[in-house]
Each structure stands twice: as structure tokens, then as C-alpha cells.
Amino acid sequence: MIEMVIEARRKDLGGFEVGRVLPFHARRMVGPFIFLDEMGPAEFAPGAEGINVRPHPHIGLSTLSYLFEGEILHRDSTGVTQPIRPGEVNWMTAGKGIVHSERTDPLKKSRGGPMHGMQAWVALPAEAEDVDPSFHHHGEEGQPSYENGGLFARLVAGEAYGARAAAPVSSPLFYVHWELAEGVRTAPPPGRGAGGYAERALYIVRGEVEIGDQIFRGGQMVVLEPTAEPTIKALTPATVMVLGGEPVGPRVIWWNFVSSSQAKIDAAKADWKAGRMTLPKDDDQEFIPLPDVPATPEPAPGPTDPV
């Protein structure tokens, strides 16, 4: 029933802790999901730095930002400036190249407050890797939801349970947010044996859940076997992110770049180092330089992106 359990690797970034889930050395991807971080939870004091991710580039992926608490201000090289708040989705497709920053708005910084959310990268299929960059923001109305008997479920992206979310995905996938009351039982979207998705996993954000005869807790990802059709029972109030989809094939990941081609990674590195990628027009006074290393095995932890 359970193929693997992945423990989030926590790192303190100075008043803000991040848990890296994917990529993992023994499991690089789940469906097209190639990167997953839990941001926080944290409580920023008034005047604290908050989120401060300087402009940096991406290729070959879509990023998906989703918050439980707090707010982040996004700016990118397509000209978009967009805050994201709890229950909303920021879906940014890098394609052939985009530059963005994510920061705490100065007014929010002066007040302080909580921050907790998830950041995911979705690898683009080969035919979409070189599309023009784009950005889409979706409020709660763009994400179908269901609530009954102690279960709240929101379809953040993709298709599941007969519904489709608004985010413009490029390959078959699903990403669901569950809030479970104690004792609630539910099930993930069906797997390959039932005509569903080839790869599926659950990330427990908080609380305890039972799958089969095993108990899992906050900070653990449970990767399901392709044909498993488990029932999930909440032993305590729990928050769970359920994700998966169809594989898009092997991918090279280096710093903030994802591609099916090492040559494209190398070209993106050269473009960023030479200053050929445009910075966001409202955030162009600084940027994150290219790492001065020949290779990195996986992205370095950062508040919402590798930095």
C-alpha cells in the first residue's frame, strides 16, 4: 500500500523554518511534482524581515504558491505584481524563462504576523518547456471545494473527484488541500489500478492520520503504491496536501532551473550570468547571483524558492 515515507528536512533560515520534501534522493518526483516545500509555520514580530526572496530566474516549470496563513507579494518579469493570501493560488509558468521575487509587503512587515504555506514546482512536459512565460492568480472561486461531516476539501490545481481547478496545468495532475476533523475518514483520488493517476502522495502538514495500520504525523510525506486504494483516517484534527499525476519523464534540476535537457540548463545559466534575463520592473535593484559551483544535487532551501 505504501511505497515510501519521506521526512521533511527542516532548516532554520533565521526566524523562519522551511521543510524540504521533494526532491528526495530516493524519490525525485511524484507525477510532475519535482519540488515541494512547507513554509513555516512562523510568527514574524513587527518589523522582522519576513519573506525576502530577491529576483531570481526559472525555466521549464510552473510554480504553485498556496498559503494557510500570511501574505506574500509576487513580482515578475512579465510585469505582474500580485499579493497572495490564504486560499488563493499563484500559478507561474516559467517556460523558456522568467524572473520573479517574493517578499513581505513593507506595511505587512511593520505589523508582523503569521506565515504558513506550501510551495510546489511542477515540471512542464517536453512540448511545453519553451512556452512564453505567464502568470495566473486565482481566488478561492477558482478552486472547487467540498465540506461535509468534518471534511473540508479544496482542489487547488488539476482534476480530481469529478472537478477541475482554474490553474492552467500542462499535464494530468491533482493537488488537493484537506482539513480533517478527528475521526473523519476519506480517500485520495484513485490510482492506476482503478483508472486513475499513476503516482500519488500525501503530505501531512499537521496532526496524525492512519493509513492501513500505520500512523503518520506532520512533516511526513506518504508515497502510495500505484494500485493502492487506501482509506485515510484522521486520529486528530489534521491538515493534509494530496498530490500526484502522470510522470513527464526524467528531469535535470540545477538551482532554480528544471529541464529535460542539460543543454537548456547550461544556456539558462549563461543567460542569467550575462544579465540577459529581464528583472521585474518594480524590483530591479538587486538579484540572486548564479551559484559559483559546478553543480548542486538539489535546490538549496529557501522561504518559497531555492535561493
Above 50 in pLDDT, residue 15? yes
Tell which wins on pLDDT, 280 or 295.
Answer: 280
pLDDT digits (tens, 9 = 90+) for 68-88: 999 999 999 999 999 999 999
Of 207, 236, 242, the residue nearest 222 (C-alpha)? 242
Residues whose CB falls within 8 Å of the CB of residue 267, separated by 6 or more in sequence, listed in order: none
Q: Position of cell 521549464?
A: 60
- Which pLDDT value is given to residue 295? 52
Pick from 14-18, 177-181, 238-242, 256-260: least confident: 14-18
**CA–CA distances in Å: residue 189 to residues 1, 21, 86, 229, 239:** 14, 21, 24, 9, 17
β-strand 89-93 against 17-22: which pairing, if any? unpaired
Q: What is the pLDDT of residues 167-213, one digit of tens each?
A: 999 999 999 999 999 999 999 999 998 999 999 999 999 999 999 99
Closest CA to 20 of 33, 34, 35, 3: 35
* pLDDT value, residue 302: 42
Per-residue pLDDT, 167:
98
Q: What does the block give as the cell for 76?
A: 515578475
88-120 pLDDT, tens digit each: 999 999 999 999 999 999 988 999 999 999 999
